[in-house]
Every structure is written in C-alpha cells, then in structure tokens.
Amino acid sequence: MTEVPPSDQNSEVGVLASCVIDPNIVGKCMDRDFSCDTFYFPKHKLIFRAIESLWNEGGKIDEITLFQKLVESGVSEEVGGMHGINEITGAIDTTTNFDSWANSIEGHWARRKIVKLCQNGLDAIRAQELSVESVIETMDNNLINISKDRFKAEYFHDSTGATNEAVRSIEKRGSQSGKLGVPSGIIEIDYKLKGFKPSELTLVAARPSVG
C-alpha cells in the first residue's frame, strides 16, 4: 500500500473555490506566496495555475473564464472539464473559513518539503556521496528556508488603512486654525500638528540619512 504524502483535499478544494467565488482571495494567496506547488493533488495544481495566470493578466475570474484558460492550456479534460470546476466551486457556500483552509495547506506543504528533504539526506548518506557534515549543513539550511516560508505570512501586514487614517488626521489638523495643543517651538511641526495634545503619542521621524 502506497503511503499518501501529507495533504488535505478538502482544504485545497476550499481555497480554490474561494478564489473563484471571491477573486480578492487570490490576492491573499499571493501574499502567502502560494503557487501550484503548494497544492498536492494534480487536478488542483492545474486549476490554481490557471487562476494565478488570470490574476496576473488582470482578467476576470469566474467559472467560465477559468474553464477557458484551462482549455487554452490544453488541460481542461484533466480537471474534469466544466463539471469538474462546478464541482469544486459548489463545494462551499462562503469563504469565511479561507484562513483555516490556507493554514492547513501551508502546513501540509511544509511537511511534504521536510519529508523530501529527509529522503534526500538519507539517499546522500547511503550513497556516501557527501560527508556527514555536508549533509547536515544542507538539511539545516533547507529547514531554515522552509521555516521562513512557513511563517512569512505572520509578518505581513497591510499598512494602507493606518497610513490613510494618519494622512486624514494630519490634513484635518492642517485645515484648523490656531494652536490647539502645546507648541513644540518648531514652526513647521506646529503648523502640521497644531501642537501636542493630551493622551496622544506623536512620533516625528524621517528616512535614514536625511538629517
């Protein structure tokens, strides 16, 4: 009996369906560095590759355009045609659980890479092609890279909302007259901030090497 590598078919279906139901989800997949290799099942690899292609082209993503892209690539029959696509998109009613599905896929992808890494290490040791030290160093470096990829999404934050809010706050203060808080003594800063206010933390910063 052949052992199936770490995978989660239901989560893969959930992510693919989410991408078609809400194309904005594709952007979240890109933020996580998803690729066709993130998926285990061949059919799902082909579908995500087509979704990624449509996203990069800036085209509309739905069942019809996805099917057309698969036809262009000559792999529509391999995914079951339009019936296969409808089967996937009809598997969920909402994208609410996308993060859970995506986390599951990422976890299994990391496990598959670790399994492959260990197998390669064992093969190298059995063949005595490399020294033990070289094998350990190679495995160590690859494990570090897998760890970085695994947790990269935890350190990604979209600062657009906070930036826009800060700009609106500064513009609002600039339109007001008079000093509403404690002056700093620096005319340009007081003009922008209208003085320092109680219970507010004001940070004044600049890019490196600009004085």
Closest CA to 34 of 44, 162, 201: 44
- Report the predicted TM-score, pTM, of the whole model to 2 decimal places: 0.65
Residue 189 neighbours by CB under 8 Å, 6+ apart: 204
Binned at pLDDT 50, 70 and 90, residue 177 comes out as: low
pLDDT score recorded for residue 164: 64
Kindly report, residue by residue over 8-28, the tens digit of the pLDDT.
Answer: 999 999 999 999 999 899 999
Give the C-alpha separation, 25 to 10, whole Å.
Answer: 17
pLDDT band at 171 (very low <50, low <70, confident <90, very high): low
pLDDT digits (tens, 9 = 90+) for 28-69: 999 888 999 999 999 999 999 999 999 999 889 999 999 999
Compare 145 and 165 and report the one with higher pLDDT: 145
**pLDDT of res. 121:** 82
Contact 161, 179 (CB under 8 A): no
Q: Bigger pLDDT: 100 or 202?
A: 100
CA distance 38 to 61: 20
What is the mean predicted confidence (pLDDT) over 168-193?
A: 67
pLDDT given for residue 157 in this prediction: 47
What is the tens place of the pLDDT at every residue in 69-92? Answer: 999 999 999 999 999 999 999 999
Alpha carbon separation from 79 to 51, 74, 108, 132, 180 (Å, rounded):
13, 10, 22, 44, 65
pLDDT recorded at residue 201: 78
Max CA pair span of the chain:
80
Residue 148: what are its φ and ψ, rounded to 5°? -65, -45
Quickly list H helices, the chain.
Answer: 9-21, 24-31, 42-57, 63-72, 81-89, 98-127, 132-151, 160-175, 187-193
Bigger pLDDT: 143 or 161?
Answer: 143
- Planar angle of CA 159, 165, 167, nearest 5 degrees: 100
- Over residues 110-155, the pLDDT tens digits come to 889 888 888 888 888 888 877 778 878 888 887 777 776 666 555 4
Residue bearing tokens 């292609």:
53
